[in-house]
Amino acid sequence: MKLLGAVAAVVVAAGCSYGPAPQSASSSDPVSSSAEHSEVSILPGTALLGAPLTAKGATITPRADTMALVRQNTGDELELGIEVSFADVSAPIDATGPNGGFRLLVSGGEQIPPSRPVVLSSRPLPARVIGDVTGWVFFHVKPGVLPTQLQLTAAPANYMLDPQPIAIWAMSALPAATGPAPPPSQLPPALPPAPAEPAPAPPPVSGNGGDGGQRGPRLPPPPRLPPPPQLPRPQLPPPPDAVCRHTPLC
């Protein structure tokens, strides 16, 4: 009995000591803290227009208080300008171009790329930002279109994929459009009025009264026709006596 009890105690002790002992996680542990900092979110940051967001290590701030909306001199499109500042830039960031840059998302899901300014004369952003800079990005929008988001996109390197958003700013409303009013629609020139027809000349005044109209030569009277010839009356024989007795014609 004493031998069996000793063997059981050895087995229990060996089972309890098998494997590494669990270590309590602590925020001061260098291994755990480095693991927390190595986690990187793949979702783009979102904020309201005017708030800064971090993308590719840089702090990007599109300003909402200096946003401008003007009418173009020709056509009915509007030109929207947004001032953007880049700070703490450590890697190149495309501001415009096919490989990424800013995009304006409007109601209906359409994405509008940046355009060259036509009316606004503010300093535009460079196509590729390589240092701290402040400039403007311009979009041409149609009247009545409501922008919903300003997106900064970038294409994944060496994957041949379309640019994807890396920062999104929500937009609520646009400022009132300024500038010249849109020109009225061009109508074809009106045709000159047709010349008035001359009034008819009055009839000549006749010296002998009448209606005063011009008369032609007087025609001779028509010839008189001779009277019809007198035809002889036919001589009928008298009716027989039997007829005369019954009719007053005899």
Q: What is the DSSP string of 176-204?
A: PPBSSPPPPPPPPPPPPPPPPPPPPPPPP
Is residue 93 assigned to a domain?
Answer: yes
**pLDDT at residue 9 above 50?**
no
Confidence of residue 184 (pLDDT cuts 50, 70, 90): low
What's the predicted TM-score (pTM) here?
A: 0.56
Asked whether residue 87 is assigned to any structural domain, the reply reads yes
Pairwise CA distance, residues 96 & 124, whole Å: 10
Mean residue pLDDT across the chain: 77
CA distance 92 to 9: 67
Query: Using an 8 Å Cβ cutoff, are 104 and 170 in contact?
Result: no
- Bridge partners (DSSP) of residue 80 are 69, 139
Q: Which domain holds residue 101?
A: 50-170
Number of structural domains in the chain: 1
**Does 237 reside within a domain?**
no
Q: State the average pLDDT over residues 237-244.
A: 76
Q: Is residue 151 part of a domain?
A: yes
Pick the closest to residue 45 from 166, 151, 155, 152 (CA basis). Answer: 166
Query: How do residues 34-83 score in pLDDT, each as one tens digit?
Result: 334 334 456 899 999 999 999 999 999 999 999 999 998 877 889 999 99
Alpha-carbon distance 15 to 215, whole Å? Answer: 149
Q: Write the pLDDT tens digit of every residue in 142-160.
A: 988 899 999 999 987 666 7
**C-beta of residue 45 within 8 angstroms of C-beta of residue 55:** yes
Residue 224 lies in a domain: no
- CATH number for position 136: 2.60.40
Mean local confidence (pLDDT), 104-129:
93
Report whether pLDDT(222) > 50. yes
Report the percentage of the chain scoring pLDDT > 70. 72
d(CA 122, CA 68): 10
Say if 54 falls within a structural domain: yes
Q: Is residue 189 part of a domain?
A: no
In a domain, 104, yes or no: yes
Q: 13: part of which helix (H) or strand (E)?
A: helix 2-16
CB neighbour class for 110 (10 Å; exposed up to 12, middle 13-18, buried from 19): exposed
Residue 194 tokens read as 């047709």
* pLDDT attached to residue 189: 67
100 within 8 A of 154, measured Cβ to Cβ: yes
